């Protein structure tokens, strides 16, 4: 078997500016190449913090990480990052936004890159919008632009922080299926934070559950549904069973946060 | 395609929009012309009716005639040139200092807290009160005019730069960092374009104040410039001369202001 593409060994975070806050207890895990892992957990449990550490945007308090067999600390072009908020530059057109990573890393955009960018936009249903500005597009289209920007770099590992959280259910499902198709075609590894259990079960090979603050990882849940996944699977008993297990795991750890009104026993 | 059925969006640029914008622009232009023309007519009529002597209120025709005489005598250009030089030098110095210091203070809030008392104090002293001091230090030549102009243009541009740099979306900073952008790339590709709308707003104020600065500088004993002409006209009761100088100053201020507006509409096209 090939070695895991990402290894985290006891990474943790305590915020000390202001009131000290243990956001993340030491967590350890591995991600295999080509797999999709979803991370679920109550809000404030440290999901974004974990992802930012994995992306090299924030230092861990201790422990170590390896990416593709190499020690990993700083941002790496082979790791794509899709943030919680749609972060396009409003003064750049769709095409210019998508080419930003290439501009930054290669200093010069070649016509090959232009062609690849246009092709990718076409594949994502965005042709004709190359010269539009982000504010002229809907939320779903903008998030697709963000996805295209990340994919143009052909990352080996894609870190996503609730990428579809602000979208309506229909758009979200559509983008989920699109992501699955792209992931299979590009043989990417995806690590995605989501607060939707359904989304996690639909996409993931394995699901990590982070307990409420301070975050601690439960034993990963193996989803075990066949691929390709379809929306019809959502209504099958097997899907329901996995969703129930996740819910139970979150409940076990995060009951107080999930149901703040219940007091006593 | 799978999506487009549900996510039909219109680009907010119907075909007639540019046409309509052009009409609106023309309308605004005509309105300004009518306003100015009406004002001049009213002024002429007032002089006619009240029979003011020219040293109280000269007629528009009188002022126009004076302008012609001065333009042909050749002296006018030297004065316009002197004032423009003070404005240009003052803007270059004041804006250069404001942009660089503003960038620094925008990036380092602690530094801002340290310098804020000085910056605010420098602003609460009226420029006319410092100008004589500046003349003592720098003499009555171009240097002191440039310095006074720089002082007055500095503050609005500084504040705008600080606010502009602070307004940079931290998520975009994260994005640039995740792309391993250099400091220079972050400056050119993110911070400058992000701060630009606010900086241009401050610039509008600064350029109009620059005219005030140059005139105040010239009041303090200069030997050329439109401010000097106003002073001269007051001394010899040549009111038409003063009107010519004031009219030219208004023209310079308008031109500077409109230049920034034009810059805005060029550079901030993405906002519309
Ligand atoms: N830069 C920071 N400084 C201080 N506290 C922070 C910072 N970032 C996040 N936190 C806190 O850490 C906890 C975990 O945050 P986060 O990782 O964003 O949670 P999640 O993404 O699971 O909602 C929260 O209580 C949050 O307020
Ligand atoms: Mg989060």
Measure the CA–CA gap between B6 and A244, rounded to whole angstroms. Answer: 31
Where does chain A have alpha helices with state H?
Answer: 47-54, 94-106, 111-123, 139-152, 169-186, 197-203, 237-258
Last residue of a domain, one of B35, B51, B67: B51
* Co-location of B88 and B149 in the same domain: yes
Express each pLDDT in B115-139 by its tens digit. Answer: 888 888 878 888 889 899 999 999 8
pTM for the predicted model, two decimal places? 0.81
* Co-location of B170 and B40 in the same domain: no
Residue A70's SS3 state is strand
Q: Which domain holds residue B39?
A: 1-51
Contact B174 A101 (CB under 8 A): no
CA torsion sign for A137, A139, A144, A148 is positive
For chains A and B, what is the number of CB pairs under 8 angstroms? 79
Give chain B's mean pLDDT.
89
* Co-location of B3 and B119 in the same domain: no
Which protein residue's CA is at the shortest distance from atom 17 of ligand 1?
A46
Q: Among residues of chain A, what percentage have pLDDT more than 90?
A: 63
* Co-location of B17 and B103 in the same domain: no
Which protein residue's CA is at the shortest distance from atom 1 of ligand 1?
A15
Express each pLDDT in A92-140 by its tens digit. Answer: 999 999 999 999 988 888 999 999 999 989 888 888 999 999 999 998 8
Measure the CA–CA gap between B164 and B167, rounded to whole angstroms. Answer: 5
Closest chain B residue to the Cα of A86, Cα to Cα: B171
Q: Is A138 in the pocket of ligand 1 (CB under 6 A)?
A: no
* Co-location of B133 and B37 in the same domain: no
What ipTM was predicted for this assembly? Answer: 0.82
pLDDT mean over B41-55? 91
Contact A57 B190 (CB under 8 A): no
* Co-location of B31 and B78 in the same domain: no
Measure the CA–CA gap between B114 and B43, rounded to whole angstroms. Answer: 52
Query: Given A77, A83, A178, which is nearest B171 (Cβ)?
Result: A83
User: Which residues 14-53 of chain A have a CB within 8 Å of chain B?
Assistant: 52
Express each pLDDT in A218-265 by its tens digit. Answer: 889 999 999 899 999 999 999 999 999 999 888 765 444 443 333 333
* Co-location of B67 and B95 in the same domain: yes
Query: Given A77, A90, A92, which is nearest B180 (Cβ)?
Result: A77
The enclosing domain of B77 has a CATH number of 1.10.3720.10
* Co-location of B106 and B40 in the same domain: no
What DSSP line would sit under B95-130, residue for residue? HHHHHHHHHHHHH-HHHHHHHHHHHHHHHHS-HHHH
The answer to whether the beta carbons of residues A167 and A85 sit under 8 Å apart is no
Tokens (6 digits) for A103: 């501009």
Contact B6/A at CB under 8 A: yes
Predicted local confidence at residue B16, as pLDDT: 63
Angle at A137 between CA A134 and CA A143, to 5 degrees: 75
The answer to whether the beta carbons of residues B131 and B72 sit under 8 Å apart is no
Which protein residue's CA is at the shortest distance from atom 7 of ligand 1?
A15
* Co-location of B15 and B106 in the same domain: no
Distances (CA, A) of B165 to B30, B109, B111, B204: 38, 11, 14, 18
DSSP state of A72: -
* Co-location of B45 and B69 in the same domain: no
What DSSP line would sit under A103-119, residue for residue? HHHHSS--HHHHHHHHH
* Co-location of B39 and B81 in the same domain: no
Number of domains in chain B: 2
Residues of chain A positioned with their CB less than 8 A from the CB of B169: 87
Cα B267 to chain centroid, rounded: 17
Express each pLDDT in B158-212 by its tens digit. Answer: 999 999 999 999 999 999 999 999 999 999 999 999 999 999 999 999 999 999 9
Predicted local confidence at residue B9, as pLDDT: 40
* Co-location of B113 and B147 in the same domain: yes
């Amino acid at each position: 078997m090939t070695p895991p593409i990402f290894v985290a060994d006891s990474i943790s975070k305590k915020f000390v500016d202001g009131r000290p806050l243990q956001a993340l207890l030491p967590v350890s895990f591995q991600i295999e190449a080509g797999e999709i892992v979803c991370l679920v957990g109550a809000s404030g449990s440290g999901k974004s913090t974990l992802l930012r550490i994995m992306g090299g945007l924030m230092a861990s308090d201790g422990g170590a990480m390896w990416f593709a067999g190499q020690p990993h600390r700083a941002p790496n072009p082979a790791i794509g990052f899709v943030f919680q908020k749609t972060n396009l530059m409003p003064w750049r057109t769709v095409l210019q936004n998508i080419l930003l990573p290439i501009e930054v890393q290669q200093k010069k955009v070649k016509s090959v890159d232009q062609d690849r960018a246009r092709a990718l936009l076409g594949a994502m249903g965005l042709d004709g919008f190359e010269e539009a500005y982000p504010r002229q597009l809907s939320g779903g289209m903008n998030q697709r632009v963000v996805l295209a920007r990340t994919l143009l770099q052909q990352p080996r590992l894609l870190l996503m922080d609730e990428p579809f959280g602000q979208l309506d259910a229909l758009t979200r499902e559509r983008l989920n299926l699109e992501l699955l198709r792209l992931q299979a075609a590009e043989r990417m590894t995806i690590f995605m934070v989501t607060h939707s259990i359904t989304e996690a079960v639909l996409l993931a090979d394995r699901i990590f559950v982070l307990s409420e603050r301070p975050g601690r990882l439960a034993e990963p849940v193996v989803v075990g549904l066949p691929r390709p996944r379809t929306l019809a699977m959502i209504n099958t008993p097997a899907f329901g069973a996995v969703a129930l297990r996740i819910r139970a795991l979150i409940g076990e750890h995060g009951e107080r946060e999930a149901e703040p009104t219940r007091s006593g026993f | 395609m799978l999506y487009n059925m549900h996510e039909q969006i219109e680009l907010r640029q119907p075909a007639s929009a540019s046409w309509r914008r052009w009409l609106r622009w023309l309308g605004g232009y005509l309105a300004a012309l009518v306003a100015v023309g009406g004002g001049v007519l009213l002024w002429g009529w007032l002089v006619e009716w009240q029979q003011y002597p020219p040293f109280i209120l000269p007629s528009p025709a009188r002022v126009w005639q004076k302008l012609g005489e001065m333009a042909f005598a050749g002296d006018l250009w030297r004065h316009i040139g002197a004032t423009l030089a003070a404005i240009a030098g003052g803007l270059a110095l004041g804006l250069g200092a404001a942009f660089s210091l503003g960038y620094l203070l925008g990036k380092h809030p602690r530094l801002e807290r340290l310098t804020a008392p000085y910056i605010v104090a420098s602003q609460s002293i009226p420029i006319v009160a410092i100008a004589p001091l500046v003349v003592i230090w720098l003499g009555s030549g171009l240097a002191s005019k440039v310095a006074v102009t720089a002082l007055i243009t500095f503050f609005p541009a500084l504040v705008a730069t600080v606010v502009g740099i602070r307004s940079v979306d931290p998520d975009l900073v994260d994005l640039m960092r995740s792309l391993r952008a250099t400091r220079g790339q972050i400056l050119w590709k993110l911070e400058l374009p992000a701060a630009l709308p606010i900086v241009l707003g401050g610039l509008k104020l600064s350029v109009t104040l620059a005219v005030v600065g140059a005139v105040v500088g010239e009041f303090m004993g200069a030997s050329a410039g439109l401010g000097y002409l106003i002073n001269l006209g007051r001394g010899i009761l040549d009111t038409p001369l003063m009107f010519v100088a004031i009219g030219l100053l208004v023209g310079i201020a308008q031109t500077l202001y409109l230049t920034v507006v034009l810059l805005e509409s060029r550079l901030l096209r993405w906002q519309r």
